[in-house]
Amino acid sequence: MQAFCFKCRRKVEIKNPQRVTLKNGRPATQGVCPVCGTKVFRIGRS
């Protein structure tokens, strides 16, 4: 799964993806950018 890294300014593959649920109940995926180590986040199921 890919997410946009704001530090690298490009789409990257999520490293160590974890499923999380937002306060409003929507699913999301959270992980780390493999290039710079910044936290990346993507809303939606996949």
Q: What is the pLDDT of residues 8-39, one digit of tens each?
A: 999 999 999 999 999 999 999 999 999 999 99
In this prediction, residue 46 has a pLDDT band, given cuts at 50, 70 and 90, of: low
Range of the domain at 19: 2-43
Question: Which candidate, 46, 17, 42, places its Cα nearest to that of 5?
Answer: 42
Whole-number pLDDT of residue 37: 95
pTM for this entry: 0.82
Count of domains in the chain?
A: 1
Beta bridge partners of 2: 13
Report the sign of the C-alpha dihedral through residues 13, 45, 42, 27, in that order. Answer: negative
